[in-house]
Structure 1
Amino acid sequence: MSGPGARLDQFMGRANAAYYAGRDPFSDFITAPEISQVFGELLGAWTAVVWQLLGQPDPFMLVEAGPGRGTLMADALRLVRRVAPACHAAARVHLIETSPRLRQEQARALEGLTARPASWHDAITDVPDGPMILLANEFFDALPIRQFVRRVDGWDERFVHDGAFIHQPASFPPAHPAATRAVPEGGVLETCQPALDFTRAVVERLRRWPGAALLIDYGYDAPAHGDSLQALRHGRPADPLRDPGAADLTAHVDFHAIAQVADGVDVWGSEPQGAFLAALGLHARSEQLARAAPEQADDIRAATARLAAPEQMGRLFRVLGLSAGLKGSLPGFTGPRAAAGNEGDAP
């Protein structure tokens, strides 16, 4: 890359656009729905219960952001069709996906599973009005981030030039929910404006129509700081600044900041993924499958451990819920989140 360099979020956005357009990303990583069908089934059951708590709206928008190959939605719909046919009939499936190639894969995965043809959109704002239940699994982590480095008297921002970081003086966004975080000199503070914008768009819908959203990703829920940018190439860690477009670039999700911009709706969690899935019945369903297919029992139990064990995905991945107009508690959560307070001294 020549010239003065590109701001990190611009570099990351272009690199990931090229990566997703030019290769199968699932050759480099595997997501929870691909690990076990139980993941999608549990979210299908969660959807059916939430639909009941919303007063059984008909129709309602069943939305997934970043649907991958369509595996999660397919598994969820199979479960809903079996256990809650009225919910299945009321669901209007909408998928937020910009990749034409992935849209084709998702259409094949959902063939025969929707009560009405699914619809695809580039953005959440394109989804028709109405009550909504939204699922977003590993959607936020690939959204482009900015990185700011604390100086004694202010901030530098990271740019990418010729495969390395360079720093330029900058001002930290004053309205960002992390603006009050105390960061030591030399510390890195990350922002992800697209994640905040998406959350605000979801919240705006929930203020107008009843519904719920489930956000699942790896990340943290504390007023933290640090460099979490990472890359995977051929399933192995790689230098995120070299060969843009050849690797999947991701960063940990700041659930603390996301919760802070969800004004006017109920916020639940975030909870560790392992605890959330266990509350939905992960272990009981996995054992049911293991008994039904004893020759696959070891694989089924290993997949369950991968999803829920603290040393695997169970603690690193977190689940945040948003809701409005719910007649009861959001399933899987111990209770609504308290209002966010001050995070510390201003930087």
Structure 2
Amino acid sequence: MTPLAEIIATRIRATGPISLADYMEICLLHPRYGYYTTRDPFGVQGDFTTAPEIHQMFGELCGLALAQAWMDQGRPTPFTLAEPGPGRGTLMADMLRAIRKAPGMADAAQIALIEASPHLRRIQRDRLGAVTHLDSVEELPAKPLFLIANEFFDALPIRQYQRTEAGWAERMVGLSDDGLCLGLGPVVDLPREGQPGDVVEECPAAPAMVEAIGRRIAAHGGAAIFVDYGGWNGYGDTFQALRNHQPEDPLARPGEADLTAHVDFAPLAAAAIRAGAVASRPIRQGDWLLSLSAGQRAERLAAAKDATAMAALRRLTHPDEMGHLFKAMAIWPKGAPPVPGFDALRLHADHA
């Protein structure tokens, strides 16, 4: 067992099985052995590679989309430029370079990063200089807010429920002779349809965060773009672990592998609308980036001797790569033009 596995096992022996949400939070954020508190997990030398680490064009296009939204809303000054879960600061650095093309925007931006890891906070300060670090989106100031969240919601703790003949029961982490294992708790009241064996996932923290972001945007202006892998209804077991760029058993090495789950965009859209903002339908990442002229940008970079540009374009946009698995969703204030590349959600549209 890893040191963190021993800690978790001791807790289970003392108080009983724990939810997947508790397990994920311990594994990712334990102050001594947590995954994000002990390492830089990004890139070739880490466990996974995110879109900003693949190529600069991803961050540049995100920045230009927010820049257009800023101009469409009358260039509010000052404003908060925020990112939850900013990793190494690569996405923010690329966006800052891009928004300098919008006169006055970079000077009006006050950067706020929502980051729980002290280790990653140090990396972000080294890369970006003077930034404000916050512990939660609730701490964002009451002013226009332009926000990007890339592969942030997938790492938030989830709860899983499995349908049995008696009803829905929560999947829990317990102990067997071989170590940590999954089992079922008592039947709970869950208002979801399903057949025996079906699994549904819920992420309690994500809608609350989007609602807090939406309230600020509805009241003060701004826009937010959320990019992550996922779908629309939360059905299916998507809980997974990644270590050295390879999948592994999520219970095998607590604290030494990244833990994630697919994002359910439906409750995020509902939370934004509940907060008084407009939400887009989620669209494929590849379609969104191509609508922002990613193809032309890659061709220009390739002509300027960037040997990686065309391969990066394929990885970011092709259906067999990240193009269809990853989705993008945006929110903006009522009465404002849509964020570039997005359309307002139609409540009865097909989101499959």
- For the criterion TM > 0.5, the same-fold answer is yes
SS of match in other structure, 1:338: coil
SS of match in other structure, 1:260: helix
The Cα shift of 1:316 comes to: 0.2
Counterpart for residue 169 of structure 1: 186
Q: Following superposition of structure 1 onto structure 2, how do residues 261-276 of structure 1 map, counting pairs within 5 Å?
A: 261-262=271-272, 263=274, 264-276=276-288
Deviations 1:80-122 (A, max 9, x none): 12x11311111111111111111111112213xxxxx321101
Counterpart for residue 23 of structure 1: 39
Counterpart for residue 235 of structure 1: 245
AA of the residue aligned to 1:150: R
Counterpart for residue 84 of structure 1: 102
Deviations 1:47-103 (A, max 9, x none): 11010111110001111111000000001101112x113111111111111111111
Q: Following superposition of structure 1 onto structure 2, how do residues 57-96 of structure 1 map, counting pairs within 5 Å?
A: 57-81=76-100, 83-96=101-114
The Cα shift of 1:257 comes to: 2.2
Query: Aligned partners of 1:214, 1:319: CA distance in 2, in Å?
Result: 7
AA of the residue aligned to 2:93: A
Deviations 1:20-45 (A, max 9, x none): 11222110000000000000110111
AA of the residue aligned to 1:322: I
1:204 equivalenced with 2:215 (yes/no): yes
Q: Check conservation: 2:83, 2:148, Cα contact below 8 A.
A: yes
AA of the residue aligned to 1:323: W
Counterpart for residue 6 of structure 2: none
Give the TM-score of the pair, scaled to structure 1: 0.90
Q: Following superposition of structure 1 onto structure 2, how do residues 65-214 of structure 1 map, counting pairs within 5 Å?
A: 65-81=84-100, 83-111=101-129, 117-162=130-175, 163-172=180-189, 179=191, 181-214=192-225
Q: Following superposition of structure 1 onto structure 2, how do residues 22-61 of structure 1 map, counting pairs within 5 Å?
A: 22-26=38-42, 27-61=46-80
**1:309 aligned residue (318, 321, 341):** 318
Q: Check conservation: 1:148, 1:172, Cα contact below 8 A.
A: no
AA of the residue aligned to 1:125: E
Deviations 1:111-147 (A, max 9, x none): 3xxxxx3211010111211010110000000000000
The Cα shift of 1:182 comes to: 2.2
Counterpart for residue 324 of structure 1: 333
Deviates more, 1:305-314 or 1:46-55: 46-55
Runs of 4+ that moved beyond 2 A: none
Deviations 1:208-236 (A, max 9, x none): 21111100000012x35110000011221
Indicate the RMSD between aligned Cα atoms, in angstroms.
1.7
Residues 84 and 158 of structure 1: CA distance in aligned 2, closer, same or farther (over 3 Å): same
Query: Aligned partners of 1:55, 1:340: CA distance in 2, in Å?
Result: 32
Give the TM-score of the pair, scaled to structure 2: 0.89
Q: Check conservation: 2:201, 2:234, Cα contact below 8 A.
A: no
Counterpart for residue 245 of structure 1: 255
Query: Aligned partners of 2:215, 2:70: CA distance in 1, in Å?
Result: 19
**2:297 aligned residue (271, 285, 296):** 285
Query: Aligned partners of 1:52, 1:30: CA distance in 2, in Å?
Result: 32
The Cα shift of 1:261 comes to: 2.3
Q: Check conservation: 1:211, 1:325, Cα contact below 8 A.
A: no
Deviations 1:154-177 (A, max 9, x none): 21111101321111114245xxxx
Q: Check conservation: 1:265, 1:323, Cα contact below 8 A.
A: yes
Q: May I ask how many residue pairs the two structures share in their alignment? A: 326
Counterpart for residue 258 of structure 1: 268
Deviates more, 1:96-105 or 1:319-328: 319-328
SS of match in other structure, 2:182: strand
Query: Aligned partners of 2:63, 2:281: CA distance in 1, in Å?
Result: 19
AA of the residue aligned to 1:101: H
Query: Aligned partners of 1:272, 1:258: CA distance in 2, in Å?
Result: 16
The Cα shift of 1:326 comes to: 5.2
Query: Aligned partners of 1:225, 1:280: CA distance in 2, in Å?
Result: 31
SS of match in other structure, 1:328: coil
Counterpart for residue 230 of structure 2: 219
Aligned residues with identical type, % of pairs: 42
The Cα shift of 1:207 comes to: 2.8
Residues 275 and 98 of structure 1: CA distance in aligned 2, closer, same or farther (over 3 Å): same
The Cα shift of 1:186 comes to: 1.2
SS of match in other structure, 1:231: strand
